[in-house]
C-alpha cells in the first residue's frame, strides 16, 4: 500500500471516529448536568401511566390496578415490574432518571431512597395538603420527606419484631417476653438449661454484611437510647449509647449468646434457623409469622412461638423502619393522572386490603386497632407498638455510601477485626465525610 | 507452516491500447489501479469498520472520556438539591492509588490478580489431566465427557448459588470436612471458596479445548516414542505437551481474560463489598451504583489496559495463536 492509500484508509477510520465522537457529544447532557432549581411541580396532563415497582411476590397487585383501570378507562395504569432485589430496582430507577425517560410514571421507592431521589431532582415534590398525612403514623411520613418537603407518599411500612419460642419460655418458667437485653439473656440461660434447649442459639438478627446489618446496628444503637444520625442530619455514633448498642452485638458473639453462624444470616438464613428450632429469639420482619406458622412440615415451630417488641438496654427497644413510598418521576408524562392515582393507591381502603391479602403493614394508624384484623393477624398490635417507637434509617443523599460506612465498621466489630471504640470512631469519621458534602 | 498467507493482487484488467502507452504511463496506471483497489477495499471494509467504531470504538472512547471527567458535587443548603460541576482531569485515576479509595482499588487489583494466578494455574493442571483421561479409549468415555461438561454448561450465577449452599454454615463442605468454617465471611476462606468454585466450573473448558488438541496428535508419533523406549512421563513432556501447546495456550488465554474480569462468582457466592473477594469488576460496579461514574469508568479503563497487556504478553511471549495463523515454531 502506498502512503496515500494508507491515508485513505485512515480517512475512513477517521470518519468512523467522527461518527463515534459525535455520538459522544450527543451523550453530553446525560451525565450529571447541574440540576436546576425545582419548586413544587406542575401536575398536568392526563392519560396512560405506569407504576414501576419491585416484583409483585403476592400476585395481588394487578387485580388492584384493574379496579383503577375499570373506573378510569382513559387513564389506564400499566404495571412495570422491576427485579425483586432492592439493588436491582434502584439501578433501574436511576437508569430511567439518567436517560430522562418517561417510561416510569409512578415509582415505588424504598424508604431509604427518598433523600437521594429528591436531591437529584428525579422525583416531583408533592402537595402535602392533598394527602391525609395526618392519619398516617408520623415516623412513616418522615421517611417521605426531604428538607421538610414531601417528595413521596407513604405506601407501606414495616418494623422488626422479636420472635420468641413461647413453648420453651413457658417450660423454663419465663412468663413474659423479655423487654430488655438482660432479661432476654436470663430467659435464654433458663431455656438452655432445658434438655431441648441445650444446643440452641439464643438470639440472631441479620448480621451479614448488607443492608440488614445497617438495620440491626441502627436498632441496637436506638435500643440503647442513641441515634445513628441526629435530627440535623449529623452522625452521632461516637456517643456512649452507640457504644452500648454495638457492644450488645459484639458481646453477643463473643459470649456465645448469638450463634457463630449468625454473622452469615440474612432474613432467609435466619428464618430457616428459627423454623428448624435452632433459635430461641429471633429479630425478624413480620412476614415470618405466616411462614413459620405453616403446618405443611416446612416449619418445626408452627404454633410454638410468639412475638414481642424488640428488647432494649433498659426498656423496650426501637426498630428501624422499613416500607415503601410512592413518588412521581420528574420526567414522566400525564402527571395529573399520576397524582390522582397515587392518592387512590395509597388510601386507607387500599392499605387495608393490602394488609389482608398481601400482609403489607399499612401506614394508617387506625387500621391497627381494628378488632377483626387483630384476630386474623395476631401480631398486629405488637407491630403497632414497634412502629410507634421505630426510627427511620439515616436520611442521607449518598445513602449507599452511608450504609457502606455503617456495614464496614459494624461488620469489622462483630467479626472481631476492630475494637468497638475504633469501629465507631471510624464510622463517625466516614459518616461525617459522607453527610458533609456541601 | 511458517509461510504467512498473502493476499494475491487480482490480475490487472487489460484495457485495449494500454500496451502501446509509454512505460511511465504504465507505472502511473499501475499506481492508479493499486489506489483503486485500496479504495475498493476500504469501501468494502467500511461497513465493518463503521460497525466496529460504533460498538467497540465509541464505548471505549466514551468510557475514556467519562473516566477523565471529575465531578464535584455539593448539596444546596437551602433546597437540598445536589449541584454538580464537572471538569476534565486525571483525579479519578490518581485516586485509585492514594488514600482510602487507593487502598480499596489496590486491594481489588490484588484480588483480581491472585484469583487469576491461582485459578488459572489450577484449571490448567486439572484441565490437562481431564483431557488426558478423556482422550483414552475406555468404556463409558462418552458419559465421562458429558459429565465433565455439566459444570461448564451451568450459568455462573447458578453455580455460584449452588456453591453458596455447599459453603453455608450447615452445608456439605463443613459436613465433609467436619468443620464449622464460616466460608462466606471476610477472610482467606472466602477467597478460597471462590477459587474452588471457579476451578470446578471452568476446568472442563480447558479440558475440552486441550482434548481437541490431543486428538490432532498423530498416533505414529506416540508409536515412535514407544519404539524408542520413552517412558510415559517423558512422552508427556517431550511429545504431548509441545504438540498440544497451541491449543492449551489459547485455552488458558481465554480463561485468564475471563478471570481478570470475574464478577458474578464472588458477587453471588460471597457478596458485594467484601474486601477479601472484591475484584476490579465488582469495585467498578459498586462505584457506578453509588453514582460515581467517573471513578467507575477509570477502574474499568485500568482493567481494560491490564487485560490488554496480559493478552499481548500471551500472544507475544507464549505465542498464543488466536487468529488462526497456524502453529508457529518458537525455539
Residues of chain B with C-beta less than 8 angstroms from the C-beta of A8: 35, 38-39, 42
Residues of chain B with C-beta less than 8 angstroms from the C-beta of A27: 62
Distances (CA, A) of B109 to A404, B116, B196, B282: 20, 11, 20, 11
Q: What is the pLDDT of residues B79-99, one digit of tens each?
A: 888 888 889 999 999 999 998
Burial B14-31 (b: 16+ CB within 10 A, else e): eeeeeeeeeeeeeeeeee
Q: Cβ A35–B84 below 8 Å, yes or no? A: yes
Q: Which residue has the cell 474480569?
A: B261
Select from B53, B7, B79, B258 the least CA-distant residue to A12.
Answer: B53
Candidates A31, A112, A199: best to mutate against B (most CBs of B within 10 A) is A31
- A80 and A122 in a single domain? The answer is yes
Cα three-residue angle A348-A376-A342, rounded to 5 degrees? 20
Look at B21 and A268; give whichever has higher pLDDT.
A268
CATH of the domain at A86: 3.40.190.10
Q: What is the pLDDT of residues B210-248, one digit of tens each?
A: 999 999 999 999 999 999 998 999 999 999 999 999 899
Counting one residue from chain A and one from chain B, the pairs whose CB atoms sit within 8 A come to: 139
Q: Cβ A397–B35 below 8 Å, yes or no? A: no
User: Going by C-beta distance under 8 Å and a sequence separation of 6 or more, which residues neighbour residue A150?
Assistant: A125, A126, A127, A128, A131, A133, A141, A144
pLDDT at B25 over 80: no
- A115 and A249 in a single domain? The answer is no
Mean pLDDT of B281-310: 94
Cβ–Cβ under 8 Å, residues A151 and A327: yes
For residue B279 the three cell numbers come to 475484584
- A97 and A138 in a single domain? The answer is yes
User: Going by C-beta distance under 8 Å and a sequence separation of 6 or more, which residues neighbour residue A421?
Assistant: A243
Select from A100, A128, A87 the least CA-distant residue to A31.
Answer: A100
Rounded Cα distance between B97 and B104, Å, is 9
Q: Which of B34, B185, B289 lies nearest to residue A264, judging by beta carbons?
A: B185
Interface contact A35, partner B, CB < 8 A: yes
Cβ–Cβ under 8 Å, residues B243 and B166: no
Confidence of residue B170 (pLDDT cuts 50, 70, 90): confident
Q: Which residue has the cell 483431557?
A: B131
pLDDT at A34 over 90: no
Cβ–Cβ under 8 Å, residues A17 and B57: yes
Interface contact A21, partner B, CB < 8 A: yes
- A285 and A313 in a single domain? The answer is yes
- A365 and A285 in a single domain? The answer is no
Cβ–Cβ under 8 Å, residues B252 and B124: yes
Neighbours of B208 (CB within 10 A): 20
Count the residues in chain B.
Answer: 331
Please give the pLDDT value at position A386: 93
Please give the pLDDT value at position A9: 45
Residues of chain A with C-beta less than 8 angstroms from the C-beta of B274: 209
Surface of B (263-302) touching A: CB under 8 A = 271, 273-274, 289-291, 293
Cβ–Cβ under 8 Å, residues B184 and A210: no
Mean pLDDT of B97-110: 93
Please give the pLDDT value at position A406: 96
Look at A14 and B304; give whichever has higher pLDDT.
B304
> Chain B residue with minimal CA distance to A207?
B185
Q: Cβ B53–A13 below 8 Å, yes or no? A: yes
- A165 and A306 in a single domain? The answer is yes
Q: Which residue has the cell 454484611?
A: A209
Question: Is there a domain that residue A365 lies in?
Answer: yes
Surface of A (418-437) touching B: CB under 8 A = 437
Mean pLDDT of chain A: 88
Question: Is there a domain that residue A21 lies in?
Answer: no
Look at A401 and B1; give whichever has higher pLDDT.
A401
Interface contact A40, partner B, CB < 8 A: no
- A281 and A405 in a single domain? The answer is yes
Cβ–Cβ under 8 Å, residues B192 and B173: no
Q: Which of B54, B169, B170 lies nearest to residue A19, judging by beta carbons?
A: B54
Question: Is there a domain that residue A22 lies in?
Answer: no
A9–chain B nearest CA distance, Å: 6
Question: Is there a domain that residue A4 lies in?
Answer: no
pLDDT at A429 over 80: yes
φ, ψ of residue A202 in degrees (nearest 5): -80, -55
Q: What share of chain B is helix, strand, coil (3-state, %, to 5)?
A: 70, 5, 25
Question: Is there a domain that residue A18 lies in?
Answer: no
Q: Cβ B81–A24 below 8 Å, yes or no? A: no
Q: How far apart are the first and last CA of chain A?
A: 59
Distances (CA, A) of A57 to A60, A61, A319: 8, 9, 24
Residues of chain B with C-beta less than 8 angstroms from the C-beta of A2: 31, 34-35, 38
Candidates B52, B60, B64, B81: best to mutate against A (most CBs of A within 10 A) is B81
Surface of A (328-367) touching B: CB under 8 A = none
Cβ–Cβ under 8 Å, residues A106 and A342: yes
Rg (CA), chain A: 25
Q: What is the pLDDT of residues A10-28, one digit of tens each?
A: 444 444 443 333 333 333 3
Question: Is there a domain that residue A55 lies in?
Answer: yes
Residues of chain A with C-beta less than 8 angstroms from the C-beta of B71: 32
Select from A72, A127, A437 the least CA-distant residue to B72.
Answer: A437
Cβ–Cβ under 8 Å, residues A367 and A355: yes
pLDDT at A35 over 80: no
Q: What percent of chain B has pLDDT over 70?
A: 89
Q: What is the pLDDT of residues A273-318, one digit of tens each?
A: 999 999 999 999 998 998 899 999 999 999 999 999 999 999 999 9
Please give the pLDDT value at position A309: 96
- Considering its fold, how many domains does chain A have in total? 2
Distances (CA, A) of A304 to A169, A272, A274, A301, A384: 10, 15, 11, 5, 22
Count the residues in chain A.
Answer: 438
Select from A342, A323, A321 the least CA-distant residue to A132.
Answer: A342
Question: Is there a domain that residue A400 lies in?
Answer: yes
- A145 and A176 in a single domain? The answer is no
Collapsing DSSP to helix, strand or coil, B85 comes out as strand
- A328 and A431 in a single domain? The answer is no
Residues of chain B with C-beta less than 8 angstroms from the C-beta of A114: none
Interface contact A12, partner B, CB < 8 A: yes
Residues of chain B with C-beta less than 8 angstroms from the C-beta of A401: 290
Rounded Cα distance between A406 and B58, Å, is 38
Q: What is the DSSP string of B243-300?
A: HHHHHHHHHHHHHHHHHHT--HHHHHHT-TT-GGG--HHHHHHHHHHTT-HHHHHHHH
Edge to edge, the sheet with strand A153-159 lists A77-82, A49-54, A106-110, A321-328, A153-159
Select from A97, A157, A88, A102 the least CA-distant residue to A123.
Answer: A97
Could you tell me how far CA A327 lies from the centroid of its own chain? 16
- A303 and A180 in a single domain? The answer is yes
Please give the pLDDT value at position B19: 52
Question: Is there a domain that residue A32 lies in?
Answer: no
Cα three-residue angle B279-B282-B283, rounded to 5 degrees? 85
Cα three-residue angle A231-A85-B201, rounded to 5 degrees? 135
Please give the pLDDT value at position A58: 76
Q: Cβ B273–A407 below 8 Å, yes or no? A: yes
pLDDT at A428 over 90: yes
- A195 and A82 in a single domain? The answer is no
Range of the domain at A252: 161-320+394-435
User: Burial, B149: exposed, middle or buried (Cβ in 10 Å; 0-12, 13-18, 19+)?
Assistant: middle
User: Under CATH, which number does the domain B101-317 receive?
Assistant: 1.10.3720.10
- A82 and A146 in a single domain? The answer is yes
Amino acid at each position: 500500500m502506498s502512503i496515500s492509500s494508507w491515508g485513505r484508509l485512515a480517512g475512513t477510520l477517521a470518519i468512523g471516529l467522527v461518527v463515534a465522537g459525535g455520538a459522544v457529544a450527543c451523550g453530553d447532557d446525560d451525565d450529571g448536568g447541574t440540576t436546576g432549581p425545582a419548586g413544587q411541580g406542575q401536575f398536568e396532563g392526563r392519560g396512560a401511566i405506569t407504576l414501576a415497582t419491585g416484583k409483585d411476590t403476592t400476585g395481588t397487585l394487578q387485580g388492584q390496578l384493574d379496579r383503577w383501570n375499570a373506573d378510569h378507562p382513559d387513564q389506564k395504569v400499566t404495571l412495570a415490574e422491576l427485579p425483586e432485589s432492592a439493588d436491582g430496582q434502584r439501578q433501574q430507577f436511576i437508569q430511567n432518571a439518567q436517560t430522562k425517560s418517561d417510561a416510569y410514571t409512578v415509582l415505588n421507592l424504598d424508604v431509604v431512597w427518598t433523600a437521594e431521589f429528591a436531591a437529584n431532582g428525579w422525583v416531583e415534590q408533592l402537595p402535602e395538603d392533598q394527602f391525609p398525612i395526618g392519619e398516617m403514623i408520623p415516623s412513616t411520613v418522615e421517611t417521605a420527606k426531604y428538607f421538610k418537603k414531601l417528595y413521596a407518599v407513604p405506601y407501606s411500612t414495616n418494623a422488626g419484631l422479636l420472635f420468641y419460642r413461647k413453648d420453651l419460655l413457658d417450660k423454663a418458667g419465663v412468663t413474659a417476653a423479655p423487654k430488655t437485653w438482660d432479661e432476654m439473656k436470663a430467659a435464654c440461660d433458663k431455656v438452655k438449661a432445658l434438655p431441648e434447649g441445650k444446643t440452641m442459639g439464643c438470639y440472631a438478627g441479620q448480621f451479614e454484611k448488607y443492608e440488614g446489618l445497617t438495620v440491626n446496628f441502627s436498632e441496637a444503637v436506638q435500643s440503647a437510647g442513641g441515634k445513628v444520625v441526629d435530627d440535623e442530619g449529623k452522625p452521632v455514633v461516637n456517643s456512649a449509647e452507640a457504644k452500648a448498642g454495638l457492644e450488645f452485638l459484639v458481646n453477643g458473639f463473643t459470649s456465645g449468646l448469638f450463634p457463630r453462624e449468625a454473622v452469615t444470616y440474612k432474613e432467609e438464613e435466619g428464618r430457616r434457623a428459627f423454623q428448624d428450632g435452632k433459635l430461641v429469639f429471633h429479630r425478624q420482619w413480620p412476614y415470618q409469622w405466616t411462614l413459620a406458622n405453616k403446618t405443611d412440615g416446612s416449619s418445626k415451630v408452627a404454633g410454638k412461638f410468639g412475638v414481642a417488641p424488640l428488647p432494649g438496654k433498659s426498656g423496650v427497644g426501637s426498630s428501624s423502619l422499613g416500607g415503601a413510598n410512592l413518588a412521581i418521576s420528574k420526567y414522566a408524562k400525564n402527571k395529573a393522572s399520576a397524582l390522582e392515582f397515587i392518592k387512590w393507591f395509597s388510601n386507607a381502603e387500599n392499605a387495608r386490603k393490602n394488609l389482608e391479602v398481601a400482609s403489607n403493614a399499612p401506614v394508617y394508624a387506625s387500621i391497627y386497632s381494628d378488632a377483626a384484623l387483630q384476630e386474623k393477624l395476631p401480631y398486629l398490635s405488637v407491630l403497632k407498638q414497634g412502629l410507634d417507637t421505630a426510627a427511620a434509617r439515616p436520611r442521607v443523599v449518598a445513602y449507599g455510601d452511608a450504609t457502606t460506612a455503617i456495614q464496614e465498621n459494624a461488620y469489622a466489630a462483630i467479626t472481631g477485626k476492630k475494637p468497638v471504640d475504633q469501629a465507631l470512631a471510624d464510622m463517625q469519621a466516614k459518616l461525617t465525610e459522607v453527610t458533609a458534602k456541601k | 507452516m511458517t509461510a504467512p498467507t498473502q493476499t494475491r493482487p487480482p490480475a490487472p484488467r487489460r484495457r485495449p491500447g494500454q500496451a502501446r502507452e509509454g512505460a511511465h504511463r504504465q507505472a502511473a496506471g499501475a499506481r492508479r489501479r493499486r489506489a483503486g483497489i485500496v479504495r475498493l477495499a476500504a469501501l468494502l471494509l467500511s461497513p465493518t469498520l463503521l460497525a466496529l467504531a460504533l460498538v467497540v470504538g465509541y464505548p471505549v472512547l466514551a468510557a475514556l472520556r467519562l473516566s477523565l471527567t471529575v465531578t464535584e458535587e455539593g448539596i444546596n443548603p437551602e433546597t437540598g438539591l445536589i449541584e454538580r460541576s464537572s471538569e476534565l482531569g486525571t483525579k479519578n485515576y490518581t485516586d485509585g492509588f492514594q488514600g482510602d479509595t487507593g487502598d480499596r482499588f489496590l486491594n481489588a487489583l490484588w484480588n483480581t490478580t491472585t484469583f487469576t494466578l491461582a485459578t488459572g494455574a489450577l484449571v490448567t493442571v486439572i484441565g490437562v489431566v481431564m483431557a488426558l483421561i478423556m482422550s483414552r479409549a475406555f468404556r463409558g468415555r462418552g458419559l465421562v465427557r458429558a459429565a465433565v461438561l455439566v459444570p461448564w454448561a451451568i450459568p455462573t450465577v447458578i453455580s455460584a448459588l449452588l456453591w453458596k449452599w455447599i459453603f453455608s454454615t450447615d452445608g456439605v463442605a463443613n459436613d465433609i470436612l467436619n468443620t464449622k468454617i464460616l466460608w462466606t465471611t471476610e477472610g482467606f476462606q472466602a477467597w478460597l471458596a471462590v477459587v474452588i468454585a471457579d476451578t470446578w466450573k471452568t476446568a472442563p473448558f480447558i479440558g475440552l479445548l486441550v482434548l481437541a488438541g490431543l486428538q490432532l496428535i498423530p498416533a505414529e508419533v506416540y508409536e515412535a516414542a514407544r519404539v524408542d523406549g520413552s517412558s510415559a512421563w517423558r512422552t508427556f513432556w517431550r511429545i504431548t505437551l509441545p504438540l498440544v501447546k497451541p491449543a492449551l495456550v489459547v485455552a488458558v488465554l481465554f480463561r485468564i481474560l475471563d478471570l481478570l474480569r470475574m464478577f458474578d462468582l464472588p458477587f453471588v457466592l460471597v457478596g458485594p463489598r467484601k474486601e477479601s473477594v472484591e475484584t476490579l469488576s465488582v469495585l467498578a460496579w459498586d462505584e457506578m451504583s453509588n453514582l460515581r461514574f467517573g471513578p467507575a469508568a477509570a477502574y474499568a479503563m485500568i482493567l481494560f489496559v491490564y487485560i490488554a497487556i496480559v493478552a499481548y504478553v500471551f500472544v507475544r511471549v507464549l505465542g498464543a495463536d488466536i487468529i488462526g495463523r497456524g502453529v508457529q515454531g518458537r525455539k
